[in-house]
Homo-oligomer: A and B are copies of this chain.
Amino acid sequence: MISPALKEHLLLFLKEDIGYEDLTTEGIVSEGTEAEAVVRAKQPCVVAGLPFFRELFKIYDPAVQIIFRVPEGTEIEAYQEICTVKGKAKTLLTVERSALNLLQRLCGIATLTRKMARLIEDTEARLVDTRKTTPGLRFFEKYATKIGGAVNHRMGLYDAVLVKDNHIKIAGSVKEALRQVKKAVPFTAKIEVEVSSLKELEEALSEGADIILLDNMDVETIRKAVKLTGKRALLEASGGVTPESIREIAETGVDFISSGFITHHATWIDINMKIERIEQIG
């Protein structure tokens, strides 16, 4: 289900590109022209974003039809057909760019995420995303990391607590920060705290933090942290996570490895939508 909030958000993308009207298409294409187009990626990728791709067309013109050829999350080969779009030629031409832009971005993220997740899939560690997402695209990009194989971290500042180094500096200590924050949050949210040393880790453990973020620690220290923690809290390793380093980090026994890389270093998949049939009706 596309929720009302999500629909409103997608509508902004259409308004950004179309404004009040698509000058070219309105000037050339008649109401009675129907068309059919096929969407294909020119490179292998993980497909992500199909429900949003469809909804963008549906918002503009409820009569358009989208037939998916592969399920969301599929790893497709180059030039494999993703979906077919049928309807008024006007609709296809006007919505094409907005819908492709979103799909290309999300497939890019899902593909990079899948690649990273694969590197650690036989370990205990799971890949998680971060808040380092493109402004205005948080929900969509986190959706894509999930399709790619990551677990989502919090959506924003409002739905979970993460006590970071600056909060600790202001509160005076890990202990003090945790005590204050516990009073302020819904009991349904886990409490996470960032630590930069094994000493802070011990403090966090003794205050009963649910999740402890090990900030930029070397693999050796992470290994000690895992041992010291002994499953009393969930451990998240963060910082310097790349395709090269992720495997070694995962083997330390941490529960989660968070990566901004999967969003801010993802580039677009090359996808196009080719009109294969045009028909004049009425």
Tell me the A residues contacting B by CB distance below 8 Å: 1, 3-6, 9, 11-29, 33, 35, 59-61, 88-94, 97-98, 101-102, 104-105, 108, 126, 128, 131-140, 146, 151-164, 166-167, 169-171, 177, 180-190, 192, 210-211, 234, 256, 264-268, 275, 278
A5→B17 CA distance, assembly (Å): 10
Could you list some 16 contacts between A and B, CB below 8 A? A3-B18, A3-B21, A4-B15, A17-B131, A17-B156, A19-B156, A24-B167, A27-B182, A28-B180, A97-B131, A105-B264, A126-B187, A146-B184, A151-B187, A152-B186, A166-B275
B19 touches A159 (CB 8 A): yes
Nearest B residue (CB) for A27: B184
Instruction: Count identical subunits in the complex.
Output: 6
Measured between C-beta atoms, what is the minimum distance from A228 to chain B in Å?
21
Cβ contact within 8 Å between B26 and A132: no
Q: In the complex where A16-B138, A101-B132, A153-B187 touch, is A27 in contact with B60 (Cβ < 8 A)?
A: no
Q: Report yes or no: A188 in contact with B170, Cβ–Cβ below 8 A.
A: no
Do A160 and B23 touch across chains, with their CB atoms under 8 A apart?
yes
**Residues of B contacting A167 in the complex (Cβ-Cβ under 8 angstroms):** 24-25, 28-29, 93
A24 in contact with B278 (CB, 8 Å)? no
**Shortest beta-carbon distance from A210 to chain B in Å:** 8
Pick the contact of A136: B126, B136, B153, B211 (CB < 8 A): B136
In the bound complex, residues from chain B placing their C-beta under 8 Å from that of A155 are 20, 158-159, 186
- Taking a contact as CB atoms closer than 8 A, the residue among B135, B137, B163, B234 that contacts A98 in the complex is B135
**A157 and B264 in contact (CB under 8 A), knowing A17-B131, A166-B93?**
no
Determine the residue in chain B with the shortest Cβ distance to A33.
B170
Nearest to A92 among chain B residues (CB) is: B166
A170 pairs with B28, CB closer than 8 A: yes
> In the complex, A159→B152 CA distance in Å?
12
Q: Are B156 and A24 in contact (CB-based, < 8 A)?
A: no
- On whether the beta carbons of A188 and B186 are closer than 8 Å, the reply is no
Q: Are A20 and B190 in contact, with the CB atoms below 8 A?
A: no
Which residue, of A12, A16, A108, A177, has the highest number of chain B Cβ atoms within 10 A?
A16
Counting from the closest, the 10 A-B pairs by CB-CB distance are A19-B158, A27-B184, A160-B188, A264-B268, A136-B136, A22-B157, A27-B181, A13-B135, A159-B159, A152-B186
